[in-house]
Amino acid sequence: MKFLKWLLVVIVVLVLAFFLFGKSYLKEQTKKISPEKTATYGKNGMDLTVNYSSPFKKGRVIFGELVPYDVVWRTGANEPTTFTTGNNINIGGKSLPAGTYSLWTIPSKDTWTFIFNSEIPDWGVTIFSGGKKTTRNVEADVFQISVPVQQLSQTIESLSIDFEENEQLYLSLAWDKTKVSLSINK
């Protein structure tokens, strides 16, 4: 009985140590593998920023395997990707008020669904699910919008999220041989 009490104390101490010290160490280590990146756009009366962690392909099949089809993805690694707009905008034909949102996606073979969510959880997935279950609160979704997939001829080695401007401004995400883009207007 005494042994069980000591065992329980040791387990509690180890769990507390992990959550107090180990979690920050793990975050630091994962950011070495999937570095933090920021994309910004500051023209035409818009002030836009995307913060994300960019994992690498490393010879893996990305979409449909590493990132399963038809399942919500935190869109990058580590913490959820965030999208910030300093003013009200129209994205993919839907109104998005000024603010910061977590950005989630549901990749499919031919279309992707982008989800803008008003909550930003501490980490994008649950630790105990091995990264398979997101921490997104569905009730905080602002809206979802689907866009077609563009197949690329060249491989993009690390996840890239950026703003592209031709005659129209787009938020574009590219990785492996896949690219998806959302139109943005003021």
pLDDT for 121-159, tens place per residue?
876 655 655 556 677 888 999 999 999 999 999 999 999
Q: Which domain range does residue 91 map to?
A: 35-185
Q: What is the pLDDT of residue 65?
A: 93
Q: What is the pLDDT of residue 24?
A: 53
Residue of 120, 168, 175 whose CA lies nearest to 149: 175
* Same domain for 96 and 10: no
* Same domain for 94 and 25: no
* Same domain for 105 and 65: yes
* Same domain for 65 and 22: no
* Same domain for 67 and 19: no
- Rounded CA-CA distance 144/133 in Å is 19
Residues of the chain with pLDDT under 50: 23, 25, 27, 29-30
Q: What is the pLDDT of residue 123?
A: 66
* Same domain for 84 and 9: no
* Same domain for 160 and 95: yes
Average pLDDT of the residues of the chain:
86
**End-to-end C-alpha distance for the chain, whole angstroms:** 68
* Same domain for 120 and 73: yes
* Same domain for 170 and 145: yes
List CB contacts of 107: < 8 A, sequence separation 6 or more: 63, 67, 68, 69, 70, 73, 178
* Same domain for 46 and 113: yes
Q: What is the pLDDT of residue 18?
A: 57
Q: Across-strand partners of 123?
A: none
Q: What is the pLDDT of residue 153?
A: 97
Place of tokens 């979802």: 144
User: How many structural domains comprise the chain?
Assistant: 2
Q: What is the pLDDT of residue 29?
A: 46
Q: What is the pLDDT of residue 124?
A: 63
- Rounded CA-CA distance 118/158 in Å is 27
* Same domain for 95 and 77: yes
Token pair for 15:
């769990």
The pTM for the full model equals: 0.80
